[in-house]
Amino acid sequence: MLDVGTKAPDFSVKDQDGNTVTLSEFKGKSVVLYFYPKDDTPGCTREGIGFSEKKSEFELKNAVVLGVSKDSVSSHKSFCTKYNLNISLLSDENMDILEPYGAWGEKKNYGKTYMGIIRCTFIIDPTGVITKVWKSVKVDGHVDKVLEALS
């Protein structure tokens, strides 16, 4: 997983509306890049709703929030519609973002080991450098911690 002080790798993927999104288009803004395992699952839904509810507070801090999972564009669209999510969700089916950021790795659940998305969050400053990393996110309270870290 990438560390603080590292230049954030650029990417080019589709969002829930089928628009191409690149990290470089946000130069001059802070970017909150959060990785989550799966659309429409309990923790991921709480996290998406949390970021959506505080979108205006992130904007006041000159920050944009981008969620990333392996789900398809159409899955993201349904997820956003179902829960009125107003943030961009990026479809990374080919792991163009997950792998370079180290958000894909070994996980354990109920005694089973498997490969999957590690729930983590990065803050990338307006010059494209990673300034904060949460390597193992607990959903409850996380959105507020990210907002606080942007002050």
Position 83 scores a pLDDT of 97
Q: Is 20 among the domain residues?
A: no
The one-letter amino acid code at 144 reads D
Position 100 scores a pLDDT of 97
> CB–CB of 104/118 below 8 Å?
yes
CA distance 130 to 123: 6
Q: Is 34 among the domain residues?
A: yes
* From 33, 44, 97, 120, active-site residue: 44
Residue 126 DSSP one-character state: T
> CB–CB of 79/40 below 8 Å?
yes
CA 15 to chain centre: 12
Residue with tokens 């959903």: 139
Domain interval for residue 79: 28-149
Q: Is 93 among the domain residues?
A: yes
Q: Is 7 among the domain residues?
A: no
Q: Is 22 among the domain residues?
A: no
CA distance 127 to 143: 22
How does DSSP assign 8-45, residue by residue? PPP-EEEETTS-EEEGGGGTTSEEEEEE-S-TTSHHHH
Q: Is 4 among the domain residues?
A: no
pLDDT exceeds 90 at position 109: no
Q: Is 65 among the domain residues?
A: yes
Residue with tokens 């159409």: 74
Active site residue 120: no
Domain tally, the chain: 1
Mean pLDDT of 125-129: 97
Q: Is 50 among the domain residues?
A: yes
CATH number, domain with residue 132: 3.40.30.10
Mean residue pLDDT of the chain comes to 96
Tens digits of per-residue pLDDT, 16-38?
999 999 999 999 999 999 999 99
